[in-house]
């Protein structure tokens, strides 16, 4: 390293350190925690109490509260405090109920998401609520309830490991040690199944102030910490600045002929001269400058800072790209296995299409497979094809877009996302596994064409041509169209090429002579080949009465071609006569009609024969879909985990 660069590096370190130190002086340095629990178990009262007992109430608030409580019958209602804050907020005064601040002798705190706040789950899941610890409040008289369980599960899913349980309303059970012990055992057992060991369980009465800021005389059998002790003992998370760099691009501005890339550094650090790679595009450039307005020029920055930088190369960077150092990039994948929490009233089904929003990027995805749905009550994993509201499940999502993702346990911010349907948040997801792809294959240069393997990887299946042959009325179109619907619902790329339709456009110049039919089949085979190469599952529904023409079609398409004989005898077809054509042909109104005055050669060795005279439409469809599954599955693409290997 030269003298100049080492000096620059030293300055950068120093500057970064001072920036970070500056950061610790703002409100971000408050220790953020959440209070969760079943409705009416006492969360609001606890907040009122905490503010009061730590001396954090604004002047005059207590008097106001007393007056309000007197009006309603005398008992001091600590939860009115939150109502009062809410009222002030509604009038445009500064206190925000979703961010309540208070201070103990040891440090400053921010309570994230006031209890009862309907958005808690959404916020918690979307990562807005960056709590580092949580209190789970449980009513001593009522014990563990559905919401207590669900909230505990969410805390676990969100990766929150510092959890303490406050068993509230201890006065309602007459400060009874045995009843307290029973509730404590129940919640310990449940949390134990999740692999969570509560840091403490505290018997409290939020209303009366027992064991909040000082030890209560009414629970002489309890010798553990108070709520404030527990708070002060939560350990702040290690600074994300020590992790690898993740800079999700928020925007790119044109300014004075320069392109300025803006974003918030979610983890790690960077400095001028660093070489960055932007995922998923794979473009690379060095940082030319860190922009600053009305401030001394910066040459380094770290996690938590919002920055604007320029690059030494005019790359096309866009919102949603993630900048990282080359040695430690996010995973690139079309497929991700996630643990999700479903919020929408409408269930999530296999094949459903959603958007996965991770940091600043949004990817279209569909549910490729639901591995297991978790019962919130007993944590049992069951196999299901639907995920109902408030359920937790493990699923594989697939995107036609290449996604840049991290695993949640490695990078919290870029390893978790929100699921959107029609613009609404309908669930949250943490990434357990991002299916890796061969990166070199996916970093395209504009001159390199996209191969069928890339397309298959994006779609989650290979392209193929399923050539349905059979008499008019045998059931070709019926089967092709139902298969198309079924596969489309599963998120497959699929299309039907039907003789009737093609003959109205591409092949409108052709009749039904043997030569015209041969040309009809040749053209259709060429089109089917092109579509299959772009990754589609193509159903061709043509009578294609001659073996030689069908063999030619197979040669044109090449690999991934299947000949399917849709079998029904002529008498059955005549009796079905869905379009009334047999009647006309028998009356001589239509000439050269297959099966009447032109032959039909049944396939000699079809890949599949579907006898529609013996099967119901559904059975016939299943036979066809089974063949599609075999023909179009990617090698190893499933990467499925059986439900019984599910652990949470």
Ligand X SMILES: Nc1ncnc2c1ncn2[C@@H]1O[C@H](COP(=O)(O)OP(=O)(O)O)[C@@H](O)[C@H]1O
Ligand Y SMILES: Nc1ncnc2c1ncn2[C@@H]1O[C@H](COP(=O)(O)OS(=O)(=O)O)[C@@H](OP(=O)(O)O)[C@H]1O
Catalytic residues: 544
Least gap, CB of 485 to ligand X (angstroms): 14
CA–CA gap between residue 210 and residue 168 (Å, rounded): 9
Name which of ligand Y, ligand X, none residue 594 binds, using a CB cut-off of 5 to 8 Å depending on partner kind: ligand Y
Whether 226 and 215 have beta carbons less than 8 Å apart is answered as yes
Name which of ligand X, ligand Y, none residue 503 binds, using a CB cut-off of 5 to 8 Å depending on partner kind: ligand Y
Name which of ligand Y, ligand X, none residue 338 binds, using a CB cut-off of 5 to 8 Å depending on partner kind: none
Indicate whether 558 belongs to the interface with ligand X (CB under 6 A).
no
Torsion of CA 439, 441, 443, 449, to 10 degrees: -170
Name which of ligand X, ligand Y, none residue 475 binds, using a CB cut-off of 5 to 8 Å depending on partner kind: ligand X
Binding string, residues 479-518; x marks residues near ligand X by CB under 6 A: x---------------------------------------
For ligand Y (CB under 6 A), the number of binding residues is 21
CA–CA gap between residue 607 and residue 226 (Å, rounded): 74
The answer to whether 460 is annotated as binding is no
Indicate whether 475 belongs to the interface with ligand X (CB under 6 A).
yes
Among 302, 463, 499, 535, binds ligand Y (CB under 6 A): 499
Residues 450-489 close enough to bind ligand Y by CB under 6 A: 472-473, 476-477
State the CB neighbour count (10 A cutoff) for residue 407. Answer: 17
Among 620, 624, 627, 628, binds ligand X (CB under 6 A): 620
CA–CA gap between residue 285 and residue 293 (Å, rounded): 23
Nearer to ligand Y, 224 or 578 (CB): 578
Indicate whether 476 belongs to the interface with ligand X (CB under 6 A).
yes
Nearer to ligand X, 70 or 500 (CB): 500
Among 69, 384, 592, 622, binds ligand Y (CB under 6 A): 592
Name which of ligand Y, ligand X, none residue 322 binds, using a CB cut-off of 5 to 8 Å depending on partner kind: none
Among 500, 569, 571, 617, binds ligand Y (CB under 6 A): 500
Least gap, CB of 521 to ligand Y (angstroms): 6
- Which run of H or E residues covers position 497? strand 494-498
Nearer to ligand Y, 488 or 512 (CB): 512
Binding string, residues 534-573; x marks residues near ligand Y by CB under 6 A: --------xxxx----------------------------
- 499 vs 467, 542, 597, CA distance in Å? 11, 5, 19
Among 578, 588, 599, 642, binds ligand X (CB under 6 A): 578
Least gap, CB of 160 to ligand Y (angstroms): 60
Indicate whether 385 belongs to the interface with ligand X (CB under 6 A).
no
**Helix and strand element counts for the chain (H, E):** 17, 28
Least gap, CB of 555 to ligand Y (angstroms): 17
The answer to whether 575 is annotated as binding is no
Whether 521 and 542 have beta carbons less than 8 Å apart is answered as yes
Distant-in-sequence, close-in-space partners of 83: CB < 8 Å, separation ≥ 6: none
Least gap, CB of 591 to ligand Y (angstroms): 7
The answer to whether 470 is annotated as binding is yes
Nearer to ligand X, 127 or 473 (CB): 473
Among 128, 177, 349, 615, binds ligand X (CB under 6 A): 615
Q: Which of 23, 24, 61, 35 is nearest to 231 (CA)?
A: 35
In this structure, what are the phi and psi dihedrals at residue 562, rounded to the nearest 5 degrees? Answer: -135, 135
**Burial of 18 from C-beta contacts in 10 A (0-12 / 13-18 / 19+):** exposed
Report long-range pairs for 230-236 (Cβ below 8 Å, ≥24 apart).
230/135, 230/164, 230/199, 230/200, 230/202, 231/31, 231/33, 231/104, 231/109, 231/133, 232/104, 232/105, 232/106, 232/107, 233/199, 234/31, 234/33, 234/132, 234/133, 234/162, 234/199, 235/162, 236/31, 236/132
3-state SS, residue 567? strand
CA–CA gap between residue 121 and residue 131 (Å, rounded): 12
Nearer to ligand X, 451 or 578 (CB): 578
Nearer to ligand Y, 305 or 524 (CB): 524
3-state secondary structure 423-479: CEEEEEEEEEEEECCCHHHHCCCCCCCCCHHHHHHHHCCCCEEEEEECCCCCCHHHH
Residue range at the interface with ligand Y (CB under 6 A); choices 20-28, 98-106, 365-373, 498-506: 498-506
Nearer to ligand X, 404 or 480 (CB): 480
For ligand X (CB under 6 A), the number of binding residues is 18
Indicate whether 574 belongs to the interface with ligand Y (CB under 6 A).
no
The closest residue (CB) to ligand Y is 499
Strand order of the β-sheet with 464-469 is 494-498, 537-541, 464-469, 561-567, 608-611
Indicate whether 473 belongs to the interface with ligand X (CB under 6 A).
yes
Rounded-to-5 percentages of helix, strand, coil across the chain: 30, 30, 40
CA–CA gap between residue 150 and residue 53 (Å, rounded): 29
Name which of ligand X, ligand Y, none residue 567 binds, using a CB cut-off of 5 to 8 Å depending on partner kind: none
CA–CA gap between residue 575 and residue 469 (Å, rounded): 19
Find the angle CA(401)-CA(404)-CA(409) to the nearest 5 degrees. 135
Least gap, CB of 481 to ligand X (angstroms): 8
Among 517, 529, 550, 574, binds ligand Y (CB under 6 A): 517
State the CB neighbour count (10 A cutoff) for residue 565. Answer: 20
Least gap, CB of 606 to ligand Y (angstroms): 15
The answer to whether 474 is annotated as binding is yes
Nearer to ligand X, 421 or 576 (CB): 576
Least gap, CB of 356 to ligand X (angstroms): 38
Give the bridge partners for 497, in sequence order: 540
Residue range at the interface with ligand Y (CB under 6 A); choices 165-173, 223-231, 352-360, 587-595: 587-595
- Which run of H or E residues covers position 554? helix 547-557
Indicate whether 581 belongs to the interface with ligand Y (CB under 6 A).
yes
Nearer to ligand X, 509 or 618 (CB): 618
CA–CA gap between residue 563 and residue 467 (Å, rounded): 5
**Alpha helices, DSSP H only, in 93-176?**
120-126, 146-157
Give the bridge partners for 404, in sequence order: 332
Least gap, CB of 573 to ligand X (angstroms): 8
Indicate whether 157 belongs to the interface with ligand X (CB under 6 A).
no
Nearer to ligand X, 385 or 626 (CB): 626
Least gap, CB of 560 to ligand Y (angstroms): 21
Among 168, 361, 457, 541, binds ligand X (CB under 6 A): 541
Indicate whether 470 belongs to the interface with ligand X (CB under 6 A).
yes
3-state SS, residue 71? helix
Q: Give the residue numbers of the binding site for ATP.
A: 470-477
Site residues, ligand X (CB under 6 A): 470, 472-479, 541, 566, 576, 578, 612, 615-617, 620
């Amino acid at each position: 390293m030269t003298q100049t660069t080492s000096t620059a590096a030293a300055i950068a370190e120093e500057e970064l350190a001072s920036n970070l130190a500056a950061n610790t002086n703002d409100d971000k340095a408050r220790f953020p925690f959440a209070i969760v629990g079943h409705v009416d178990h006492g969360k609001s009262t606890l907040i009122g109490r905490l503010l009061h007992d730590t001396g954090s109430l604004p002047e005059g608030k207590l008097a106001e509260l007393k007056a309000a409580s007197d009006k309603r019958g005398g008992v001091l209602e600590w939860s009115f405090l939150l109502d009062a804050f809410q009222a002030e907020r509604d009038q445009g005064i500064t206190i925000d109920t979703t961010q309540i601040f208070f201070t103990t002798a040891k440090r400053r705190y921010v309570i994230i998401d006031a209890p009862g706040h309907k958005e808690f789950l959404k916020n918690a899941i979307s990562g807005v609520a960056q709590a580092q610890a949580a209190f789970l409040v449980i009513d001593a008289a009522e014990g563990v309830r559905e919401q207590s369980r669900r909230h505990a599960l969410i805390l676990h899913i969100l990766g929150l490991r510092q959890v303490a349980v406050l068993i509230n309303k201890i006065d309602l059970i007459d400060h009874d040690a045995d009843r307290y012990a029973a509730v404590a055992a129940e919640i310990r057992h449940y949390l134990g199944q999740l692999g969570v060991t509560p840091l403490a369980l505290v018997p409290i009465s939020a209303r009366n102030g027992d064991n909040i800021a000082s030890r209560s005389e009414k629970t002489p059998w309890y010798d553990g910490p108070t709520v404030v002790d527990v708070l002060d003992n939560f350990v702040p998370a290690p600074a994300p600045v020590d992790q690898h760099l993740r800079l999700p691009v928020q925007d790119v501005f044109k300014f004075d002929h320069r392109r300025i890339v803006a974003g918030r550094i979610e983890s790690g650090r960077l400095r001028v001269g660093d070489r960055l790679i932007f995922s998923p595009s794979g473009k690379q450039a060095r940082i030319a400058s860190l922009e600053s307005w009305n401030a001394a020029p910066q040459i380094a920055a770290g996690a938590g800072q919002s920055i604007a930088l320029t690059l030494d190369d005019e790359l096309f960077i866009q919102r949603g790209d993630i900048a990282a150092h080359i040695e430690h990039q996010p995973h690139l994948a079309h497929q991700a296995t996630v643990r999700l929490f479903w919020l929408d009233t409408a269930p999530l089904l296999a094949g459903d299409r959603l958007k996965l929003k991770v940091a600043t990027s949004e990817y279209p995805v569909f549910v490729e497979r639901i591995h297991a749905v978790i019962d919130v009550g007993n944590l049992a994993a069951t196999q299901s094809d639907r995920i109902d509201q408030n359920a937790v499940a493990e699923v594989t999502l697939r995107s036609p877009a290449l996604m840049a993702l991290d695993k949640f346990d490695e990078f919290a911010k870029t390893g978790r996302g929100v699921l959107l349907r029609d613009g609404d948040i309908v669930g949250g997801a943490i990434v357990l596994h991002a299916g890796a792809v061969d990166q070199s294959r996916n970093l395209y240069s504009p001159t390199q064409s996209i191969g069928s393997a890339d397309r298959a990887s994006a779609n989650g299946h290979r392209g193929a041509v399923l050539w349905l042959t059979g008499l008019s009325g045998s059931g070709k179109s019926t089967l092709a169209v139902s298969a198309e619907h079924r596969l489309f619902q599963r998120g497959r790329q699929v299309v039907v090429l039907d003789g009737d339709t093609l003959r109205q456009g591409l092949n409108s110049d052709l009749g039904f002579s043997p030569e015209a039919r041969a040309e009809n089949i040749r053209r259709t085979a060429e089109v089917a080949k092109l579509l299959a190469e772009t990754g589609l599952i193509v159903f061709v529904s043509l009578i294609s009465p001659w073996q030689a023409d069908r063999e030619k079609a197979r040669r044109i398409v090449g690999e991934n071609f299947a000949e399917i004989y849709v079998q029904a005898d002529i008498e059955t077809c005549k009796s079905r006569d869905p379009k009334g054509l047999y009647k006309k042909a028998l009356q001589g109104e239509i000439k050269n009609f297959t099966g009447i005055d032109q032959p039909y050669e049944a396939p000699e060795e079809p890949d599949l024969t579907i006898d529609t005279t013996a099967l119901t439409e559904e059975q016939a469809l299943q036979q066809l879909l089974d063949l599609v599954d075999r023909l179009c599955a990617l090698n190893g693409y499933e990467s499925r985990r059986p439900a019984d290997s599910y652990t949470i």
